[in-house]
Amino acid sequence: MSIIIDSKRIKPYGDRLDDGRMQFSFSLPAPCNEVGKEAAKILLTKMQLNDIEICYLSDLGEGFTHFIAYASTSETIDLTKINVKVVDTPVMDMKATDEFIEKEIGHSIKIVGACIESDAHTVGIDAIMNMKGYDHRYGLERYKYFDATNLGAQVPSEELLRIAVDEKADVILVSQIVTQRNIHIKNLTRLIELAESEGIRDKFLMICGGPRLNHELAIELGYDAGFGTGSYAKDVASFIAFRMVERNKN
């Protein structure tokens, strides 16, 4: 006998189909005792969860308590109704991307990348752009048909645009790692608005990346694409190659 999954009504899977079991870990400004435990239970109840089991609580000091809990949800999701915007160009490896650009465009694509505004964390842009890349995936600098420049951290939006214009870039890559109080949204919006006000937005393919970004959000902010956690250079590279070919045709 096999398990039959109804895509129109899926639920979290613990160890049996449709048990709805989920894991929770949170802290409350409540005492580490039966009162606190009850508070945690009430919270989960208010979240429409049932079969609540507070399996662990510990005192965090300063009047806070950590709770670990399991509970079940009765909610279901209709997978067939989900529609998200994703980067839908095929993903190729470095060699295939280079060959594709060679054949379809015939010259290299100029890319400038940076961590903009206050953001000093280059780990994302470095992983995508630097020669070495990340986790055994080479970065854009290694590609034969990309002329990629990583401007590094804390580059003001004005400067990034100025350099992109001066260098006649085809693509602008922007990384935003720090997301406290939505600073990444503000910075990314600022860059797009500046580009638009200078009338140069459409000169470039503009792509953003970072742990709290995805394609849908990027499109909403006015970018051509967005790459979140788990993206590698080859994802970005393939997208650039396909989109540049498309742009050249138009």
Partner 1 sequence: MIKLSIKDENIIKAREYAREIVNSLSWLMSDYSSVSIERTVLRLMRIDGIFDSTPLPNIVIDLLSERNVLDRGAAYWIANAMIYKNASAQEVAESISKDEFDPTKIPTMPDEKVFETLEKLTTEMLKHIKSQNKFREESYAKFGPRKKPAIYVIVATGNIYDDVVQAKAAAREGADIIAVIRSTAQSLLDYVPFGATTEGFGGTFATQENFKIMRKGLDEVGEEIGKYISLTNYASGLCMPEIAAMGAIERLDVMLNDAMYGILFRDINMKRTILDQYFSRMINAYAGIEIQTGEDNYLTTSDAIEKAYTVTASQLINEQFALISGLKHEKMGLGHAFEINPKIENSFLYELSHALLTHTLFPDSPTKYMPPTKFATGNIFRTHLLNGMFNFISQITDQGVQLLGMMTEAIHTPHLVDRAVAIENANYVFKATKDFSNEFQLSKDGFINQRANLVLDETIGFLKKVSEKGLFKAMKNSDFADIKRTETGGKGLDGVFKKSDNYFNPFMEKMKLELGI
The contact set with partner 1 (CB under 8 A) reads 25-27, 58, 60-62, 64, 66, 117-123, 126, 130-132, 134-136, 152-154, 178-181, 183, 211, 229-230
For partner 1, the closer CB: 108 or 118: 118
Question: Positive or negative CA dihedral for 67, 68, 70, 73?
Answer: positive
CA distances from 223 to 34, 76, 233 (A): 51, 33, 18
Closest alpha carbon to 132 in 122, 144, 141: 141
Provide the minimum distance between the beta carbon of 68 and partner 1 in the complex, in angstroms, as a whole number: 9
The helix (run of H) or strand (run of E) holding residue 147 is strand 146-150
For partner 1, the closer CB: 73 or 179: 179
SS3 state at 113:
strand
Provide the minimum distance between the beta carbon of 105 and partner 1 in the complex, in angstroms, as a whole number: 28
Phi, psi of 224 (to 5 degrees): -80, -30
Can you tell me the distance from the alpha carbon of 225 to that of 69, in angstroms, rounded to the nearest whole number?
38
Can you tell me the distance from the alpha carbon of 101 to that of 81, in angstroms, rounded to the nearest whole number?
36
Query: Annotated active-site positions, please?
Result: 132
For partner 1, the closer CB: 20 or 210: 210
Provide the minimum distance between the beta carbon of 2 and partner 1 in the complex, in angstroms, as a whole number: 29
For partner 1, the closer CB: 76 or 154: 154
Provide the minimum distance between the beta carbon of 223 and partner 1 in the complex, in angstroms, as a whole number: 21
